[in-house]
Structure 1
Amino acid sequence: MMRCLLSAAFILWLTLFPGGYPLATFDVKSSLPPTLAVPSTSSNTIYGIVFDAGSTGTRIHIYTFHQGAAGSPLELDGEIFESVKPGLSAFAEQPEKGAESVRSLLRLAQDYIPPTQWKKTPLILKATAGLRLLPEHQAEALLVEVRKVFSSSPFLVPENSVSILDGIDEGILAWITVNFLTGRLHGDRSVGILDLGGGSTQITFLPLAKATLDQTPSDFLTSFELFNSTFRLYTHSYLGLGLKAARLAVLGASVAAAQQKQTFRSHCFPPALDAEWTFAGVTYRYAGQPDGLVGFDPCYSEVLPILQGKFHKADEIRASHFYAFSYYYDRAVDTRLIEHEDGGELTVRDFALKAEEVCDHMERFTSHSPFLCMDLTYITALLREGFGFEEHTTLQLTKKVRNVETSWTLGAIFHELQSLVHSG
């Protein structure tokens, strides 16, 4: 559904008013204050609310825009961001309880947005890999309960405001968000994006090499119109290969086996480790291997099989510039490869060296997270063996660009505002 909307609306999708203000005129001026003080209200202030229902948590993004004098561009002032854990998919057996987590975040929007603006403020929720991985009846039950929460809210609830976001659309919207925020939505100046969530991982970039366009499977390429030009993106979402889902794959874990109290073992853990981990409402018992064999090499040998034969590799990416976020960023921060506030640039080799250090000296890192060795090893293998990046390829690790989250959600609210204007 979203892909059809994107294809139909992209040529004007950021022209938010009939007078016509193209994307190039948008500007991120500053971040919103960290407090929840209600901003001064004026007729030129516009708000938008997007819920990102991911596999590990539900996040709310409250965006504030303003328009100056008539005919002036619409400007993005910033966002308020908050999250709760676990994600909606953890409430597969208790959909009403899952919807309550959404309701709790919605109160934040009511506290922040002036009541005079509520009926004008679009409210949407898009679920990602967590719900994609659930049986259809369970996913739909959760969405039904969320729709009830939305219908009782004071905000503007557009048609199809609560749905599952297609993985391809997730990649497209994230690519546009990052390139908009970095001012690179212009041909060969664009950057690619790598998103590593809990349940899936995405890669999206604008191919410039003819060989990429000629040799890439058609389902990895998607086209849309923007600024009277056609953009053809390389984008793919690998469902089941997000960081948390990959842990289960490496362990060979299943829900049925977990319910039978089976212990899942790996050389990515210290031999004496015996612990429990809950993901998507299921508790898994995991432990080290009793043979005492630990370290990066045996861990890598367990990780590699879950990636082999599942990825298309585009040679062009080796010389392309990519932004990486979500768990790429989190694990880099956890191991002090980058600073939490500022992010930074890392090569694939930087991840590999840190994975080796953590796995070969587990006793120093286990207290932080028993999964740190496995996670870093998986990220290393994903970049090397999955996507095919070279050791010296540099990635820009970031959580925010100009104080706005690097997420598909900004692209989604742009699209929603566009749709509302043209439907009105």
Structure 2
Amino acid sequence: MSSLRTLFIKVFCIVAVVLFLYQVPVVDVRPDHIQPEILDKDSVLTEISGTAAHFSTVESTPPTTKCTVPHDLRKPLVQYIIMIDAGSTGSRIHVYRFNNCGGTPELEEEHFQMTEARLGGSGLSSYDDPEEAAASLDDLMKFAQSAVAREFHSRTPVAVKATAGLRLLGFRAASEILEAVRARLEARFPFPVVSRESGGVEVMDGEDEAVFAWLTANYLLGNLEPGRDGGMHTAALLDLGGGSLQVVFQQLPGQELEKGKALQTDLTEDRFVHRLDFRGKEIQLYQYSHLGYGLMAARKTLHQSVVDRASPHHGLSQPVLNPCLPVGSCIKVALDDHILSGKHEVVMEGPANDSDNKTTATECRELIKEILNKDDTTCPTSPCSINGVHQPLIEEVVSGDVYVLSYFYDRTHPLGIQESFTLFDLHELVLKVCAGESAWPALFGNVGGVVEVLLEMPEWCLDLQYMEALLHDGFEVTKSRQLRIVNKINSYEVGWSLGASLALLEKTTW
């Protein structure tokens, strides 16, 4: 009994001591001027960076507001693609954000940036040192880092597609630059670079440019949505560049049989057919790149033809009549290879008055037809378009819209032509532009800035006549058919970069 009393007393004493110690305040032994404080988030950021505003972070964004689960569970809900267009005059970066809420990826936003102008050009081909060329993309890639949510960096592929500038450098020089670009992107930035096998950093050929532009346009138009009746209702593209002309449109199975077995054989050649896989469906496209039929190349050929037609006794020191120029105009043209004197500068004049213009307009059309070389004797497999190249007639195989891009847009849109027009409208525009300086104020007085543009660039008369002949004589587009000129659809640029990005989305690995 006494032992129990002793145990009880000990337990009571221990509990009493603990309670006593719990009540004693803890003495802060630090100096009085150092007091504990509770720091909020802004205070911490200020301590780290000087001011909270200077703290750089990528704010995490919701995956998408359109849905919570992807349509195809094998696909992520949101995907980014980074595409760099390495052109001859500069490089441009496109950062695309897609969601996979539906059967076709939906483009939610695009971020765009380009390299700053630089003396001598800012394109990859303008640098002598491959390492400097590669470094020229650093600012674009830093821009991409800020445009892509941080949690997506390791899952966002980047591709670099070089065009005309690097093609002209030659294989070895271009390869050295592309290798330097790949090495720098892989070493310095968090994005996976698309593999060599998938064309991650490459010089892209003209045919791929055209096919990807076709994909861009028809995607933006909604022509490729699941369940949409495509085929003949997809849009055709005629893309008039400086050195070449690209033609792309979709062919339905069996169309190649309409003209007989020989046509079927010819169409299976790679130079005419591109088979595009999109959303599990194979799309067969007719595509061809007409080198030498771009606008600047055609100008050069026409000027050369005018001089070659002049009498050998004419003498190049005297002005030469060019029937494709406006009334009363006079320009100097540099010829690379004249039959008499090699490189030479020639003065060319347009017709003297309006009555002469009617005659010379016919002469100009004949000159252009010669260049187009649309002759049955040069067409081994009919039907043909220009220069003896086989092409199914657009009027027969395309019931959808025909979009004319690039220089078609650049030359007609500033002059006030409507987005949807016919060759009748284009012919009226040709007559106005070729009427000459004295007539322009009355004809274009309500379209701001046109007279000044034409005074500075009278060769627009030649350009428009070439376009009219190309469409009507070369591709046999009827005069009443509606054509469409655009450079954007739904606020997005109609170019190859979006189409190339869509093609990347089709892949499961890069």
2:409 — aligned with what? Answer: 329
Question: Which TM-score applies when normalising by structure 2?
Answer: 0.60
Q: Is the contact between residue 91 and residue 97 of structure 1 (CA under 8 Å) also seen in structure 2?
A: no
Structure 1 pair 380–312 and aligned structure 2 pair: CA distance change class (3 A) = farther
Deviates more, 1:55-64 or 1:352-361: 55-64
Give deviations 1:266-293, integer Å, cap 9, x for gaps: 554565323789xxxxxx9966415856
Residue of 135, 138, 146 corresponding to 2:170: 135
State how 1:16-415 maps to structure 2 within 5 Å: 41-42=61-62, 44-54=77-87, 58-67=91-100, 74-83=105-114, 88=123, 91=126, 99=134, 102-154=137-189, 155-160=191-196, 161-185=200-224, 186-208=230-252, 209=255, 210-211=257-258, 215=263, 217-218=266-267, 219=269, 220-226=272-278, 229-252=281-304, 267-269=323-325, 271-274=329-332, 288-290=347-349, 296-309=361-374, 310=387, 311-317=389-395, 320=399, 321-338=401-418, 344-361=419-436, 364=440, 365=451, 366-415=454-503
Q: Is the contact between residue 313 and residue 386 of structure 1 (CA under 8 Å) also seen in structure 2?
A: no
Structure 1 pair 73–191 and aligned structure 2 pair: CA distance change class (3 A) = closer
- What is the CA RMSD across the aligned residues, in angstroms? 3.9
CA distance in 2, matches of 1:245, 1:40: 49
Q: Is the contact between residue 92 and residue 113 of structure 2 (CA under 8 Å) also seen in structure 1?
A: yes
Q: Is the contact between residue 58 and residue 150 of structure 2 (CA under 8 Å) also seen in structure 1?
A: no
CA distance in 2, matches of 1:370, 1:93: 36
CA distance in 1, matches of 2:288, 2:87: 17
Secondary structure of the structure 1 residue equivalent to 2:258: helix
Per the TM alignment, residue 337 of structure 1 is displaced from its structure 2 partner at its CA by 0.8
CA distance in 1, matches of 2:259, 2:167: 29
Per the TM alignment, residue 362 of structure 1 is displaced from its structure 2 partner at its CA by 5.1
Per the TM alignment, residue 77 of structure 1 is displaced from its structure 2 partner at its CA by 0.3
CA distance in 1, matches of 2:58, 2:467: 41
Structure 1 pair 390–227 and aligned structure 2 pair: CA distance change class (3 A) = same
Q: Is the contact between residue 394 and residue 477 of structure 2 (CA under 8 Å) also seen in structure 1?
A: no
1:280 — aligned with what? Answer: none
CA distance in 2, matches of 1:50, 1:100: 17
CA distance in 2, matches of 1:212, 1:77: 44
Secondary structure of the structure 2 residue equivalent to 1:273: strand
How many corresponding residue pairs?
365
Deviates more, 1:301-310 or 1:328-337: 301-310
Structure 1 unaligned regions, length at least 5: 1-36, 254-261, 278-283, 339-343
Which residue identity is paired with 2:143? Answer: L
CA distance in 1, matches of 2:174, 2:369: 30
Secondary structure of the structure 2 residue equivalent to 1:222: strand
If each structure's strand is expressed as a fraction of its own residues, which one has the higher value? Answer: 1
Structure 1 pair 190–213 and aligned structure 2 pair: CA distance change class (3 A) = farther
Q: Which structure is higher in RCO with an 8 Å CA cutoff and minimum separation 6?
A: 1
CA distance in 2, matches of 1:87, 1:371: 28
Q: Is the contact between residue 88 and residue 165 of structure 2 (CA under 8 Å) also seen in structure 1?
A: yes
1:7 — aligned with what? Answer: none
Which residue identity is paired with 1:176? Answer: L
CA distance in 1, matches of 2:437, 2:430: 10
CA distance in 1, matches of 2:207, 2:213: 10
Q: Is the contact between residue 65 and residue 78 of structure 1 (CA under 8 Å) also seen in structure 2?
A: yes
CA distance in 2, matches of 1:379, 1:168: 21
Per the TM alignment, residue 386 of structure 1 is displaced from its structure 2 partner at its CA by 2.6
Question: Which TM-score applies when normalising by structure 1?
Answer: 0.71
Per the TM alignment, residue 48 of structure 1 is displaced from its structure 2 partner at its CA by 1.2
Q: Percent identity?
A: 31
Structure 1 pair 145–153 and aligned structure 2 pair: CA distance change class (3 A) = same
Secondary structure of the structure 2 residue equivalent to 1:367: helix
Secondary structure of the structure 2 residue equivalent to 1:234: strand
Structure 1 pair 351–129 and aligned structure 2 pair: CA distance change class (3 A) = farther
Secondary structure of the structure 2 residue equivalent to 1:184: coil
Deviates more, 1:237-246 or 1:226-235: 226-235
Which residue identity is paired with 1:387? Answer: F
